[in-house]
Every structure is written in structure tokens, then in C-alpha cells.
């Protein structure tokens, strides 16, 4: 790709989710037009109306070429977005996270879209000794991680000189989003420590995991839209910096200290679960070299930001903030409503009398 026409309109799939609820307002503030494709499983209220924002309620597995009219770039966030949900809803995870995203990428290319970004996950590294880089072998341990790996393998060969495909391997995200997630490590630790003075920590604490603030990952997405495609086309990037790999036991102790200091009360660590076999330390040299980018956030700053919001009452834990639990609720109520719903309603029904 010699010239790089600028991106004006961005299609964000899954744009009403956690990362999307931070990314979309940022894109709008930067002057992009945005189309959000989402089922709105977590509601529409997470995206404020805006003159340059169009919401499309549709399933990512059933989209057609018309969606890409006028679209310059796609950020394909849509997914069943964590390991436990991926294990419970395996077929949907394969369809949405892998097959659907490859199809979206194919449709985008055929429609003349310039760029496609796949926000994948460092979880595809699974369990590994030493520092893993973008060229290290992968070792996905869950359905969710396998679907990400297959999506990467499906979309990268679609890159051409006219169609820039870039994969972002994100660590576990933390920080505030309008569609909040307390099922993510740091967010859950902060909430538990703040609300009960007990910080939940997954056994056995020796596992390493890269953490990435939601503001940082969305900054990278926007930066990728503006980077010369020749530097990023067909490439995978681990997203993070030197300080992003945390050993979970130490991270828990750090967060416990931050919360203790904030509240002026003692916070104890409370272990849960079976020992977690997912452990990997990730190298981030490539993104700094190619994009000149480093994270602006760290766990302590992220924790303090969440604490301020919790304390101010502008952030609360609701059933929607636990992804697996919310999907289970939706599936349960779908069955109940299908069973007892008649004539278009439950108690109020379509007029007929």
C-alpha cells in the first residue's frame, strides 16, 4: 500500500461492550464517524447518542455487504469475551469469535474497506516459560483462546496491499468502562477489596499475566488507524510495556495496599479457585519499536481511578458487570419468556379483545 488514504468512518463490532464503551466515545471525540454493530446484550445505554454515531442491532454472524458501505476501517471487537463463557458456550464462541470474525474480514475486504483490526488476546500463549514474543509458539488452553488463535490465522492471510490487517494481542484489561466488567482480574480485586475489605485472588499467585488498561488499548486502536499501513500490515502486536507483566500474588498484595491506603482500613487477601494454569510473560518490544508507543497506565493508577468512582457512587456492581453470569441470565430468561409469552407479551398482550 503506497498511499494511505485517511480513515473517516470506522465500524466497531461489539462496540457497546466494555472496550467499545471506551473506544467509541474516543473515536467520536477524535472526529471519526462510527458505526456500532452489536446485539446490545449489555444494553444500549453504554453509548451516548452522537450525531456521528450510528447503531446497528444485528448478529455479527448474519451481516451482509451493505454494512460496509462508506466504511474505511473495521475494529472487530465482537466476541464471547472470556474463558468461562467460552467454555460454557463453546459453539457460539467458535462461531462468533472465530468464524464470524473471519467472515467479517472477508466481507470488509470485498467491500473495499482499507483496514481491519482484530483485537485478540495474549491468552493464546497459554502456559509458557520465559518471555513470549509475537513469533513464539502459541499454546491456547481454552475454547476462547483457541478461537482467538484461529481468528488470527484466518484474517492475517487476507491482507493485501490495499487491505491492511493488524492483530492486537491484548493482556487482561482493567479500568473503567461504561459497560463495566468486574470479572476481570484487577477490576474484581479492587471491587472485592473496596466492598468487603477482602481481596479475591486466584490461586496460586505465582502465575504471570500481562495487564493492560482500557484507555491504553483504545489509544493503540486509534493509533493503528493512523499508522502507515506498510508498518503494520499483516502484523501481530503484543500490546503493553515493560511493566505490564504482573505476578498475580504480588499484584494482589499491591492492590490490597492501595485500597488499604485509600480507605484507611486493613484489607486481607482471600484466595479462591483451583490453581490457575494460565501463566505467561509477554515481550512488548515490537509495539514500542514500530509504533513508538508505551502504556500510560499501571495497576496502581488504575486501581485508584476505580476507587474514586466507587467511592463517589458513579460506579457500581450490577449483574451485567459479570459477563458469564449475565449471559446465563439472558439464556435462562429467554427460555422462560418463550415458554410463557403469548400474543406478543406476558401480562399486557397485543390488542385483540
**Rule CB under 6 A: is residue 293 a binding residue for ligand NAD?**
no
Query: How far is Cα 270 from Cα 83, in angstroms, rounded to an integer?
Result: 22
Q: Of residues 1, 4, 26, 40, which one binds ligand NAD by CB under 6 A?
A: 40
**Which CB sits closer to ligand NAD, 123 or 233?**
123
Phi, psi (deg, nearest 5) at residue 190: -65, -45
**Rule CB under 6 A: is residue 60 a binding residue for ligand NAD?**
yes
Interface characters, 322-341, with ligand NAD (x: CB under 6 A): -x------------------
Size of the site for ligand NAD (CB under 6 A): 28
**Rule CB under 6 A: is residue 302 a binding residue for ligand NAD?**
no
> For residue 81, what is its C-alpha cell?
469475551
Report the nearest approach of ligand NAD to the CB of residue 35 (Å).
Answer: 13
Q: Of residues 20, 210, 229, 302, which one binds ligand NAD by CB under 6 A?
A: 20
Q: What is the dihedral of CA 94, 96, 97, 98, to 10 degrees?
A: 60
Interface characters, 96-135, with ligand NAD (x: CB under 6 A): x----------------------x-x--------------
Q: Which residues contact 129 (CB under 8 A, 6 or more apart)?
A: none
Report the nearest approach of ligand NAD to the CB of residue 168 (Å).
Answer: 8
Binding segment toward ligand NAD, per CB under 6 A, in 126-134, 168-176, 187-195, 310-318 = 168-176
Binding segment toward ligand NAD, per CB under 6 A, in 33-41, 126-134, 196-204, 304-312 = 33-41
Q: Of residues 7, 17, 98, 232, which one binds ligand NAD by CB under 6 A?
A: 17
**Which CB sits closer to ligand NAD, 184 or 267?**
184
Grid cell 518471555 in the structure block, residue: 131
Report the nearest approach of ligand NAD to the CB of residue 180 (Å).
Answer: 9
**Rule CB under 6 A: is residue 42 a binding residue for ligand NAD?**
yes
Within 175-214, the residues that bind ligand NAD by CB under 6 A are: 179, 181, 184
Beta strands 198-202 and 164-170, pairing class: unpaired
Report the nearest approach of ligand NAD to the CB of residue 217 (Å).
Answer: 8
Q: Of residues 9, 10, 11, 18, which one binds ligand NAD by CB under 6 A?
A: 18
- Nearest residue to the partner ligand NAD, using Cβ: 17
**Rule CB under 6 A: is residue 149 a binding residue for ligand NAD?**
no
Q: Of residues 47, 173, 222, 259, which one binds ligand NAD by CB under 6 A?
A: 173
Closest C-alpha to 166, from 45, 40, 75: 75
**Rule CB under 6 A: is residue 142 a binding residue for ligand NAD?**
no
Interface characters, 70-89, with ligand NAD (x: CB under 6 A): -------xxx-x--------
Which residues make up the interface to ligand NAD (CB under 6 A)?
Answer: 14, 16-20, 38-42, 59-61, 77-79, 81, 96, 119, 121, 170, 172-173, 179, 181, 184, 323
Amino acid at each position: 500500500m503506497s498511499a494511505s488514504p485517511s480513515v473517516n468512518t470506522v465500524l466497531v463490532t461489539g462496540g457497546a461492550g466494555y472496550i467499545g464503551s471506551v473506544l467509541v466515545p474516543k473515536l467520536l471525540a477524535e472526529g471519526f464517524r462510527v458505526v456500532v454493530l452489536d446485539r446490545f446484550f449489555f444494553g444500549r445505554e453504554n453509548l451516548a447518542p452522537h450525531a456521528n454515531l450510528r447503531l446497528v442491532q444485528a448478529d455479527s454472524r448474519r451481516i451482509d455487504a451493505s454494512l460496509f458501505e462508506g466504511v474505511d476501517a473495521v475494529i472487530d471487537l465482537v466476541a464471547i469475551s472470556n474463558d468461562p463463557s467460552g467454555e460454557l458456550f463453546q459453539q457460539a464462541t467458535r462461531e462468533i469469535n472465530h468464524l464470524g470474525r473471519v467472515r467479517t474480514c472477508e466481507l470488509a475486504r470485498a467491500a473495499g474497506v482499507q483496514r481491519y483490526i482484530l483485537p485478540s488476546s495474549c491468552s493464546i500463549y497459554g502456559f509458557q516459560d520465559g518471555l513470549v514474543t509475537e513469533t513464539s509458539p502459541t499454546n491456547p488452553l481454552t475454547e476462547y483462546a483457541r478461537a482467538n488463535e484461529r481468528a488470527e490465522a484466518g484474517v492475517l492471510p487476507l491482507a493485501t496491499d490495499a487491505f491492511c490487517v493488524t492483530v492486537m494481542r491484548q493482556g487482561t484489561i482493567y479500568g473503567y468502562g461504561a459497560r463495566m466488567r468486574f470479572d476481570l482480574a484487577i477490576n474484581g480485586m479492587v471491587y472485592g477489596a473496596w466492598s468487603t475489605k477482602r481481596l479475591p485472588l486466584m490461586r496460586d499467585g505465582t502465575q504471570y499475566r500481562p495487564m493492560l488498561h482500557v484507555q491504553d488499548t483504545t489509544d493503540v486502536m486509534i493509533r493503528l488507524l493512523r499508522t502507515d499501513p506498510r508498518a503494520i500490515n499483516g502484523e501481530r502486536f503484543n500490546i503493553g510495556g515493560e511493566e505490564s507483566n504482573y505476578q498475580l500474588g504480588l499484584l494482589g498484595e499491591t492492590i490490597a495496599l492501595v485500597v488499604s491506603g485509600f480507605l484507611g482500613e486493613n484489607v486481607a487477601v482471600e484466595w479462591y479457585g483451583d490453581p490457575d494454569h494460565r501463566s505467561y510473560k509477554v515481550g512488548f518490544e515490537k509495539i514500542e519499536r514500530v509504533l513508538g508507543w508505551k502504556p500510560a497506565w499501571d495497576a496502581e493508577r488504575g486501581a485508584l481511578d476505580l476507587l474514586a468512582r466507587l467511592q463517589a457512587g458513579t460506579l457500581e456492581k450490577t449483574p451485567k458487570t459479570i459477563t458469564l453470569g449475565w449471559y446465563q441470565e439472558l439464556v435462562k430468561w429467554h427460555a422462560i419468556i418463550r415458554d410463557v409469552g403469548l400474543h406478543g407479551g406476558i401480562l399486557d398482550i397485543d390488542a385483540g379483545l
